[in-house]
A and B are shown apart, each in its own frame.
Chain A
């Protein structure tokens, strides 16, 4: 990935997604902001990358290694997409982590950067994207594999009338090398509505799959190890309370 392509990607992203937060942003905007966060892999949007000097610094810092591929970049014209997979090491036993991943309240915190989740029955959850997309993206998932401490998998229920962001969410747990706890792997198979490259719906989503998955794992780890999830909300600044990032 060349620096130039990163630069143009970053600029395009920031220009299209910057919600123009200003001082005194009202609290209910934070949900929308969180979607923006996802859109930017958790960071770029609010950096004011429009300031070229900063953009330059960021790009220089990254040294060309950084690429934000949004959802549409992953999709082929036929709408096929490889699952996105990331791993993290968490210093807790796999059984305990399985319980956390199944518990609706914990799950809600783990995915709070982009979605709301509620239990709607045995092993079933309703997911909806945060912010203005919530009305378009809401879907039910049901458990299709539950081997505690080894593998958990949920799949989107077919007859769902609304759009789903992904059709499979699966976690696997392995012993981390060197007695450092559990290696947790999250694999998400994205399946956005209108899911072909270049379709208007997908373009509008502007989600960065790898960052969404990576941040979910970060939050999972923090919740498991500390009981809290670090947040950028409620922060005081001259922009008001709360934060885009």
Chain B
């Protein structure tokens, strides 16, 4: 089958790879009908994530049709239309039972390595390094889905692929980010990063009754989208000082809730930005935590910092202000299965149509070029959907 494979920094190729097969009786094989490139795929594209190997199949935002099921799969049948969430969860361990699906104890065969690095291993993920399981990803014609009774969500209405595809990652991720922010009525919510996760965090914050949502980015079309679809006020950080603007918009209090939907590859400005790049180059830190620092500075005392943005290792974060201002931090990979049913409900009831973020629809063979376009934020690229 054809698949997008990783070969090093800024080197994604269309390769012919073996078709996946059922390995365990709880597996299913899905023929992919739509698959997206995620902002977190760019961390792999820029070779910032440890544990990638040449030839790894990328992708963790797929959907398609079930074409084969293992003997023990009960909830899926051949012919079912499914969206596959990016986290791989066994459904049986303590964490899955507590609805903490992205912390599954059993799905990472390389848990030992992750444990060495983090203390304990989180769940395995599709197409996201051997550190997180080495699972082949979904930017391919076919995908093996382990624990098939636990992950995929069946789509039984006639909504389009484009409307439900983002249940695989970015919609639930933005939603959990807003949920993690503990939004109360009258709150002002500031969202750094207006990529897909930021856009869904903005809309979710509105759904949760935020009084005011402020979107921060430097890409004009993304800010425009946040205003148009998310009813957010906007700050372009290349044209204004974010702290000053936020203080002025909140009467000096600072936003009650801050969401970092950027993560490790933030583009800082001024001295801080330069310093982050120097430290990173010298291997003194693994992440560029520019947004984290700014959010900690801006957040109102006693407020909440929600971090859906992916970080990889050590980041130089001002813990003093965080402690003295009594901030709450909530983060984590998305506990996908917790959100699939309710969010599918919102889509089917026309509360939201997630397809608004799609900027490019192409075939799999255009994948390598689209990685570059998306990475360079060219051509107004916000979200790429591929049809194998």
Q: How large is the interface on A (under 10, 10 to 19, 20 to 34, 35 or more residues)?
A: 35 or more
Name the contact of A60 in the complex, choosing from B57, B110, B124, B314 (C-beta under 8 A).
B314
* Interface-central residue, B19, B133, B136, B147, by most chain A CB under 10 Å: B136
B268 part of interface (Cβ distance < 8 Å): no
In the complex, the chain B residue whose C-beta lies closest to that of A211 is: B112
Asked if A238 and B130 sit within 8 Å, CB to CB, the answer is no
B357 part of interface (Cβ distance < 8 Å): no
Name the contact of B47 in the complex, choosing from A54, A60, A245 (C-beta under 8 A).
A54
Asked if A238 and B134 sit within 8 Å, CB to CB, the answer is no
Asked if B5 and A237 sit within 8 Å, CB to CB, the answer is yes
B155 part of interface (Cβ distance < 8 Å): no
Asked if A236 and B112 sit within 8 Å, CB to CB, the answer is no
CB distance from A45 to the nearest CB of B (A): 10
User: Which residues of chain B come closer than 8 Å to A135, judged between CB atoms?
Assistant: none
B297 part of interface (Cβ distance < 8 Å): no
Produce 1/0 per residue, A3-43, CB < 8 A to B. Answer: 00000000000000000000100000000000000000111
Q: Using CB atoms and an 8 Å cutoff, list the residues of chain B in contact with chain A.
A: 1, 3, 5, 7-9, 13, 15, 17-21, 23-26, 47-57, 72, 90-94, 105-113, 115-117, 124, 130-131, 133-136, 140, 144, 146-147, 283-286, 312-314
How far does the alpha carbon of A214 sit from the alpha carbon of B113 in the complex, in Å? Answer: 10
Asked if A48 and B53 sit within 8 Å, CB to CB, the answer is yes
* With A46-B53, A47-B130 as contacts: A60 and B112 at CB distance below 8 Å: no
Return 13 A-B CB contacts under 8 Å, by A number.
A47-B53, A53-B47, A54-B50, A58-B51, A60-B284, A61-B286, A218-B112, A226-B90, A234-B20, A237-B57, A239-B55, A240-B18, A245-B53
How far does the alpha carbon of A43 sit from the alpha carbon of B111 in the complex, in Å? Answer: 9
A160 part of interface (Cβ distance < 8 Å): no
Asked if B18 and A226 sit within 8 Å, CB to CB, the answer is no
Asked if B17 and A237 sit within 8 Å, CB to CB, the answer is yes
Asked if B54 and A48 sit within 8 Å, CB to CB, the answer is yes
* With A23-B55, A234-B21, A234-B23 as contacts: A218 and B111 at CB distance below 8 Å: yes
In the complex, the chain A residue whose C-beta lies closest to that of B56 is: A237
Name the contact of A43 in the complex, choosing from B3, B20, B21, B112 (C-beta under 8 A).
B112
Asked if A56 and B283 sit within 8 Å, CB to CB, the answer is yes
CB distance from B105 to the nearest CB of A (A): 7
